[in-house]
Chains A and B, each alone.
Chain A
């Protein structure tokens, strides 16, 4: 599934970029993130608990950052797998300064899911992806303050 969109952050691109590479901030911003540790340069391992109404699942995940081009773009690869199946997201994020000194983060990428969630959750994917991404940026914005 293709995804794209954009969100605003109230900090300039340099700061926004830095925040999105900071394990502590990522741990706070990634929805459901219960633990995040750095395993390698630009690579993190995490435990995610996804709860959506009565749906819940624990995922072991990996975050990888590539194609670093500070402060204007980078590639984010998120992988998670757990009993309900697996998720893989691969997206390119662009950061651009906006008029009020903030940053517009636009993204486009691809989300892949497998297992039970792919088969029984296809109608929910679009909406769920939107919720998770929105939550991520909301929390990131909170961290910025």
Chain B
């Protein structure tokens, strides 16, 4: 693990728990977010939004707003009709894509639908004037529940598609009919994965600045995908892509909600052109609840066929996906990820999946941490527990029996994936040892005798990371990196991945420091400006390090070769090696440091044969496959028998994300992921009433977990490198969320199993559990 430089060992940084280099600016409050951007003569936009989920717009009175102090413009849907529609980047055969105007035209489809925009000298004046815009609505019947939307006679969300079907999708793998015919048992369950609000701490925000003479638009936006925003906003506004510059300053959380192109991004770009002044819009928390994508929103019907010994023979799954009123960037693609993941890490080769996407008068759903995989993992991990209960087999044992075996990798799944590598029993066994499973079951039995409700929940998850090979990813699934070694020997990495809190400013520097034998302090990671960074895809689907990091790695390999060539010239020898930050002549032992070599590469007094000056390499790396991390989470929970309240007594997470570049950052990702998983399992839910009003529309009613609500997380790991990339890494950004919710729910169902309980839908609110307890007693 160490290289020798003239007798001195330089320790490898990859694998070290380095503190995040991005943190000092974040915790001292000196980072720059969109709202920190102030431009000369900048105006403020306030958006008037529909209070109705479905209504015809009869008239919009804007005169009072126009005459309000400080107002320079008021626009409605009529003005912006020529702006291109908000794009859907995913495609499926037969997909119905309603045209999605940036401001509503004639009709509104969900509460929060933008209807008009007021631009004024400051935020207060803009809001005062927005309050004066009078919109005359004729309310129409709305539908807010996906199953109700699909029922006959439901109010149509889009009149052109009265059945409210947004898309359907079918996939068959193996011979599922045979599997079910041969089964000893079939267990069935309806399982929901409720709508959630991603709740980034920083809401969205846009500043747009138009340089008319140059036909240049600068767009500052809080996004996970600056280049895709540039391409798509340029298209929506009919601008040249190379004259749109998207700058993504610090991003205060995205979790998928900023993996999108939103109406407001194009709208602000359009307004800046109209008013010939910069304009800022910062989303309020209320707007964030209503108008930034939601996650999940599944109703799943599962059937699992098995032999009496617990061998799973086949799985049938029908997904009803709550689409919302429109497709945002990836809306229809998300449930297809659930289908890909539906067998979990079990070897069954027979599956059948059907998805129906249902339009509802709600905010569109899209990618939220895990995007499709938490739903699938929740489903299969719940079903395996239900099967174990049916067959009276221990839940750990039934899992071990069905795991893909170590010698089966690479493993072709019934859904068409190829699992890269795995050792599924290892984290399970480690987690069982950590909780002392045998003893724990005994304690549970004793506790039950004393009338206590203790449950043990196991979730053995697998997931898809490094999304993904281009054929499987809308807009391409590669990633880019440019590595520049400056004349001083300092290293600048420009990553197309646009990390925004995942810690790659640190991990990429660790990789570069090791490859070049230098200090991390000599490495700068630059991201988030389309005029500086080459085209990139972005950060989502746990792809940043596995794909973006690999692009960095290959660019570094190019540079190492070039460094050797320039070093050879300086040392006047062909027999050189580059190690520990020096080019060393193998014969004489003489060496040249990286700064010396870099200076010569730019000074270019004498060039190596067929070599250009400079030390810059750009790589676009196309991954040959996804990566497939896995792990086991075990939860021990206790239920208050009088109130139904669930307390998590222990949380053990053993995650395998391949090679580990920075375990500290991995722990952070796991902890954050679990927080969001527990949030879904116990507390969070976006509740729309029958009329499409979002009732949990503020933080007073939407329960995001706070630090003090979290259990202590015992985090451990196993390491199974991925063969897909040279770093051997898999990804860990979403693992915590994916593995978590079934572990929590399995533990609570296990606790209540003496009452014959087999399933409870999330969130496991105390009242829900209390009802179960009162019925049981």
Contact = CB atoms under 8 A, between A and B. Distances in A.
A42 B52 CA distance: 26
Contacts of A115: 51, 111
Nearest to B52: A114
Contacts of B694: 118-119
Contact of B696 (A85, A112, A113, A122): A122
B622 to A, nearest CB: 45
B182 interface: no
Interface in A76-120: 81, 83, 85-86, 112-116, 118-120
A119 B286 contact: yes
Nearest to A125: B695
A123 B290 CA distance: 18
B697 interface: yes
Of the four ranges (under 10, 10 to 19, 20 to 34, 35 or more), the interface on chain B belongs to 10 to 19
Given A83-B131, A119-B693, A119-B695, A114 B700 contact: no
Most chain A beta carbons < 10 A, residue from B51, B289, B689: B51
A116 to B, nearest CB: 7
B593 interface: no
Nearest to B702: A119
A92 to B, nearest CB: 19
Contact of B695 (A83, A116, A122): A122
B698 interface: yes
A118 B697 contact: yes
Nearest to B699: A120
B168 interface: no
A86 B51 contact: yes
Of the four ranges (under 10, 10 to 19, 20 to 34, 35 or more), the interface on chain A belongs to 10 to 19
B65 to A, nearest CB: 13
Contacts of A81: 51
Nearest to A115: B51
A32 to B, nearest CB: 20
A116 B287 CA distance: 11
Nearest to A116: B286
A1 B690 CA distance: 10
A113 B693 contact: yes
B698 A119 contact: yes
Contacts of B696: 119, 122
Contacts of B51: 81, 85-86, 114-116, 118
B349 interface: no
B691 A120 contact: no
Nearest to B698: A120
Contacts of A113: 693
A97 to B, nearest CB: 36
Contact of A122 (B53, B131, B286, B701): B701
Contacts of B131: 83
B203 to A, nearest CB: 15
Contacts of B698: 119-120
B700 A123 contact: yes
A1 B687 CA distance: 13
Closest 6 CB pairs of A and B: A119-B697, A115-B51, A118-B693, A122-B695, A114-B51, A120-B698
12 contacts: A81-B51, A86-B51, A113-B693, A114-B52, A114-B693, A116-B286, A118-B51, A118-B695, A119-B694, A119-B701, A120-B698, A122-B695
Interface of B: 51-53, 111, 131, 286, 289-290, 689, 691, 693-698, 700-701
Given A112-B693, A118-B695, 12 more contacts: A1-B689, A85-B51, A114-B53, A115-B111, A118-B111, A118-B689, A118-B697, A119-B289, A119-B290, A119-B696, A122-B696, A122-B697
